[in-house]
Structures are given as structure tokens and as C-alpha cells.
Structure 1
């Protein structure tokens, strides 16, 4: 759990504790009136458990502090926006999420993105997008609006001509079986062409390069105010300056060992050559 989420949860718990103390209630008394175990009150106050909106309203009603409800519920919703389960994030379909990201990117004149296992969305071709979205629908149970999602992601790619975009990816991302071989080969052809886009700086880190920072996961830095981090279960939205600074330093470290321009195209060409040889070998079999 990132520190800004933990701090936000602790802040919410502290304010609920204040409401309880102002009412002259012990934690045990509040829990008893709410029908909860006493441990729930202490966990919420210490920031170890996130209350629901219903919990907050019940708490404040018992403490006769309903006037604080709007502010604390708004604080809870802000906390939840920083850590959003993928199941909830894309429950309305993949198109909605792509439009949300496009809105964030459209307000950014500078974008930095790192990917260690897949081709970044801003550089994907429709067949590759379709494979990625199919897996999202399967794993997280998103609404199947894949074709609409593809159109929305293609619109996101307009930012490549409108902002300064710096993308770094690993050679492993070119090789992983994230799409059938034929689609991956087409994707890599397009990726090679993308290295010549005037406002895009595309770097590829060779497979055996000595890493200055361990590539644990992908992330997206918008200007210097927001970092989007994807995990298997959720997406984190980080806005705390200290955390953004860390991600910026990690990005710089990764970018410093990447290959650009002709050297990046050489890495792509080598992977393509191997994929084509595998395809030909398979045909011969």
C-alpha cells in the first residue's frame, strides 16, 4: 500500500476518533451501539481498515456529529480514487477507462511511460489492443465493449502529436507472448516506425543490460503531478510529491540505459528476425 493512501486513511481515522471523543464515547461503547466488534473501531481509527460510507454515517450518527458527514464521505471517496480495484475501474467497460486516461493525458504537455512486459497502449495497433482487452474482459469481468475500447485507445494516440512523450520499454516486452506471433510481428513493424515520430522519444532496454533500477511494474507519469501504477488487482493514482519524485528518478535511471533511434530499431529488428525464423520453422514442420 503506497504511503499517501496509508496517510489518507490514517487522517480519516483520526477525524472519526475526534468525533467519538467529542461525544464522550469509548471505542467499546461506539462499537456496541453500532453492532460492531470493538476491534473494528480501533482498526478504523488507526488507519488499518477503510470504513465504508455506511460505517461513517453510522459512526457520526452515534456521535451526534452528522454535520461532519459530507466532508468525511468526500475524503473517503478521494482515498478510494487513489486505489481502485480493476474490477470496479472497468466495470462499465474498457472504453470508459480509455476515455478517462485520454482526459488526463490531454491536460499533460509532458508524459513519461515505462513498460516492462507489454507494448504501451499509446503505441499499440488494433489487433494487439484486441488481445489485451480480451484478457481484461476475461480476468476482471469487464463489460465486453472491446471494439469501442479500441476506438477510444486509438484516439488516445493523438497525444503522440500533441505533447512531448517519452516511452521506455524493455526488450522483454517485445518478446513476451502477449499476443499471437503474427500480431506481435505486425506490432513490432509499427513500433519500429514509431521511433521516427517527431514528438516521441522511444527507448528500448536490451535484454541483458545491467539495470540501474529493478523494473518491477509499468507506470505512467503525467507532467509532474500524477503517477498511474498498474498492479494485477488495482490501479494506483499517486499524487504525493515524494512518491512522484521517486518514480521520476526510477524513470530517469531506466531511460539512461535504453537505446534510442537507430539502436532501438536494431533491437526491434533482431527480435523480428527471430520471430520470422520461428514462423518459417513452424511452417516447415
Structure 2
């Protein structure tokens, strides 16, 4: 991506600030007059307009009332609440444990018909084996110091894989070749996982591509992401979980997926890379 994924949140915050600026301009108020009408210091108006500080719901109500358009507050507050859900840090998402975090995503998977997943770190969750998923969840639980509900979270994750076999859903998975060669859980877990990839890749509703390692790539690896139909993208960052619903940004990820798919190999060529990685495990 040309921009980091987390910049999507800042752009959305600036968009809300721009709407506040438009309301202020239409009311014919300068920053000092608006601050006086709201009972604030002028510096607060400046911080809100420059998206340095996100407004509260009360701030939006006071702003709109001071500008003579209290009815605008409802839509702006709805936008604010959407922003609040765009980026969730891992501590907040997983504060009650991994099981709840996994269950929260279930409705999204159940209502989606077209899945596109690109991973530069790990095998995508829907095509992980039990052993691989357990190793991944255990590593997360230990690294983040979470309550130990790995067994319960594992059951939820594996149950979610039923979407692969139900309805008229379609799946396109892309992984970097490095994901095949650097794994988790040890050699036995990785051998089972690589064998599973060839099995899943043969399903009629599944496309599996591997982006080969090569020294002359012109499209570098990106952060891992999921595209759900054409309405939502989720990105797992080191710091948290990003949800993107802005159509123009969803399109950017779709374009990136298409570019990476052009670099990937599929079918027998992908199976050769998977077999090669498995062969190195002995």
C-alpha cells in the first residue's frame, strides 16, 4: 500500500473534522467566536479542526448547536461511533480472552460470500490445521499475557472453518512463499499444515496462490489483510485490528490483492512450492 493501513483511521478522523469546519464556515463564525459560543478555549477548536483531538459526542452537539444546525449532530455522532470501531487495539479486543475475540468475528464470516485473504506472516485462519491454530493462539496468549482460554478459542476457530463447505461461498487465498518456509509449532505441525494446504487448494470453491520469493519483485509484500465481499477489509497490525469500510479504500486493497495475485503461482506450480517447503522439513 502507498500509505500505512493505520493512516486510514487518521484520514477518517480528518474527514469528520472537515465536516465540522464546513458547518463552522456556513455559520459565518471564526474560531474565536465559535469557542466563545461553546464555552471553550480557542485552542480546543483548533485541535478539533486539525483532527489532533477527536471530538466527544457532547462536543459535536455543542458545536452544531452553536452553529445553528443542531439537527446535523445525529449524523456526525454516527460517523464518530463508526470511527471508534475502525481501530481496536489488541488489549481492548482480547481483554476477556481469546474465545470472545474469536466469537465476535463469527457473524462477519457467516454473512460473507466472497472471501479474499492475503498473508505475509501466517497461514490464513480458515485453512489452518488444528495443530497450527493451537500453536498460533498459544503464542498470542503467552505473548500478550492473556487469560488461558486457548482450548475454548481453538474450538471456536475450528468451528468457523465450516464456512468453507457451506453455501455458495468463494475463497481466494494468497500467501507469500516465506509463510510456507517459516512457521510455528515445529516441523510436525508444519508438515501437516503444508499437506492440508494442498487438500484445501483442491476444493472447487477455493483458489490458492503462492507468491514466490524472487530478487526482482516490483510489488513488495504488504501487511496481511482480508476482504469480505466488497464491503469491508480487516487488517491485523502489530498494535491492533483495523476495520476499513470506506469504498475507495476497500478498492485499494482489492487492487493490491489483484496485483499480488498476478505475481502468484497457482495449481501445480503452487503445489510444487508447497512440496518443496515440506521437503525441507525432512
TM-score, scaled to structure 1: 0.81
Instruction: After superposition, give the CA deviation of every residue in 1:217-262 in whole Å (9 maximum; x if it has no partner).
Output: 1111111111111110122211222212221121112112222222
Task: Return closer, same or farther for 1:265/1:93 CA change in 2, 3 Å cut-off.
Answer: same
- Give the alignment of 1:224-235 within 5 angstroms: 224-235=230-241
Whether 2:81 is the aligned partner of 1:77: answer yes
Which one of 265, 268, 273 corresponds to residue 259 of structure 1? 265
Report matched runs for 1:106-121 at 5 Å: 106-121=110-125
C-alpha offsets along residues 94-150 of structure 1, whole Å, 9 cap, x if unaligned? 223323333112222111110012111011112211221123223444443211211
Q: CA RMSD in A?
A: 3.2
Provide the residue aligned with 1:91 in structure 2: 95
Q: How far apart are 1:93 and its partner, in Å?
A: 2.2
Q: What is the number of equivalent residue pairs in this alignment?
A: 275
Mind listing any 5+ residue stretches in structure 2 that lack a counterpart? none
Q: By how many angstroms is 1:168 displaced?
A: 0.7
- Alpha-carbon spacing, 1:137–1:35, altered in 2? closer, same or farther (3 Å): farther
Deviations 1:37-82 (A, max 9, x none): x544312222232234576578789999987766544332210111
| Alignment CA distance shift 1:28-1:86 (3 Å) | farther
- Give the alignment of 1:1-285 within 5 angstroms: 5-14=9-18, 18=23, 26-27=31-32, 30=35, 39-53=43-57, 71-162=75-166, 163-208=169-214, 210-276=216-282
The answer on whether the counterparts of 2:24 and 2:30 sit within 8 Å (CA) in structure 1 is no
Tell me the SS of whatever aligns to 1:235.
strand
Which TM-score applies when normalising by structure 2?
0.81
Equivalents in 2 of 1:216, 1:86: separation in Å? 20
